[in-house]
């Protein structure tokens, strides 16, 4: 049966509003299913990946956690390499603040990563102690810290970062490691033998914040999640203490 032009126009008039609703729904779905790259200090990666999984379960938004060494983060940000969210040490954030890399007025939760001496057992303290060499970009002299612990004539081996130091102790290549609490999540065989006081070694403080580069809406949602009770509990399981 032939279809008149009038019938076609009538059908089109009916279907256009429905199509508009469908397009709007898909647009909203696209917003809800977006994803964000997040540059983070390597010591925070395990904690943030667990937090991002919990956040995705709540929101269907994916946060891609990209381990980024402190020495690389500043040039990345100043050359506008896409990082929607950043979590870095306070000194790195201050440098990037000076370069106006962040959005003002967004949440900035802070977490402390404390220094500890870790080993498989107490006997490990009599062996070689792994630490982070100053060439790794650390802002402190860890040999001086070890000397203050009164461990006698312990031998030392320098590593690129505290993650490597913890891995050395876990593998048996070193007897113990001067590392941070977050480094131990990947090495459950290591036990904390000493927690360093703030006077011995002040904890590293990390700040999460939103950069000026996002092209997608609501990147601050994940930062707010880290500051929530659920996010704080996840970070605490990885040795990261939320600060007021």
- 80 and 152 share a domain? no
- Tell me which residue range forms the domain holding 220: 35-110+204-243
Number of domains in the chain: 2
In a domain, 5, yes or no: no
- pLDDT in the model for residue 104: 81
Query: Which pLDDT band, with edges at 50, 70 and 90, does 118 fall under?
Result: very high
- 212 and 149 share a domain? no
- 101 and 215 share a domain? yes
In a domain, 120, yes or no: yes
Strand locations in the chain, DSSP E?
Answer: 35-40, 62-67, 85-89, 110-113, 115-119, 129-132, 156-159, 176-180, 191-195, 204-210, 240-243
In a domain, 22, yes or no: no
User: Rg (Cα) of the chain, in Å, rounded?
Assistant: 24
Residues 6+ apart with CB under 8 A from 193: 116, 117, 118, 119, 122, 124, 125, 176
Question: What are the pLDDT digits (tens) for 71-103?
Answer: 888 888 887 777 889 999 999 999 888 877 887
- 56 and 168 share a domain? no
- pLDDT in the model for residue 139: 55
In a domain, 216, yes or no: yes
Q: Give me the CATH number covering residue 67.
A: 3.40.190.10
Question: What are the pLDDT digits (tens) for 42-65?
Answer: 999 999 999 999 999 999 999 999
Residues 6+ apart with CB under 8 A from 195: 114, 115, 116
CA distance 5 to 8: 5
Average pLDDT over residues 140-144: 79
Average pLDDT over residues 14-26: 41
Question: What are the pLDDT digits (tens) for 158-192?
Answer: 898 899 999 999 999 999 999 999 999 999 999 99
Tokens 């810290």 sit at which residue? Answer: 145
Mean pLDDT of all residues in the chain? 83
- 48 and 73 share a domain? yes
pLDDT at 4 over 60: no
Structure tokens at 192: 């904390």
Which DSSP category does 135 fall into? G
In a domain, 28, yes or no: no
- 146 and 179 share a domain? yes
CA distance 70 to 127: 30
pLDDT at 10 over 70: no
- pLDDT in the model for residue 100: 78
Coil, strand or helix at 212: coil
């Amino acid at each position: 049966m032939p279809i008149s032009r009038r019938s076609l126009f009538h059908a089109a008039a009916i279907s256009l509003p429905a199509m508009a609703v469908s397009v709007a729904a898909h647009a909203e779905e696209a917003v809800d299913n977006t994803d964000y790259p997040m540059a983070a200090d390597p010591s925070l990666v395990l904690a943030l990946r667990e937090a991002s999984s919990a956040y995705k379960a709540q929101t269907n938004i994916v946060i891609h956690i990209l381990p980024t060494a402190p020495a690389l983060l500043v040039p990345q940000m100043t050359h506008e390499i896409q990082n929607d969210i950043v979590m870095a040490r306070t000194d790195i954030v201050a440098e990037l603040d000076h370069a106006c890399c962040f959005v003002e007025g967004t949440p900035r939760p802070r977490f402390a990563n404390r220094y500890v001496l870790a080993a498989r057992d107490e006997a490990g303290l009599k062996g070689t102690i792994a630490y982070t060499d100053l060439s790794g970009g650390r802002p402190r002299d860890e040999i001086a810290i070890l000397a203050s612990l009164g461990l006698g004539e312990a031998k030392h081996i320098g590593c690129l970062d505290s993650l490597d130091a913890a891995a050395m102790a876990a593998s048996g290549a070193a007897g113990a490691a001067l590392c941070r609490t977050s480094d131990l999540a990947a090495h459950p065989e290591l036990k904390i033998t000493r927690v360093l006081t703030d006077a011995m070694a002040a904890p590293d403080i990390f700040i999460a914040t939103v950069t000026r580069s996002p092209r997608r809406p609501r990147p601050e949602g994940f930062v707010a999640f880290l500051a929530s009770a659920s996010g704080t509990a996840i970070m605490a399981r990885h040795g990261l203490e939320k600060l007021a």
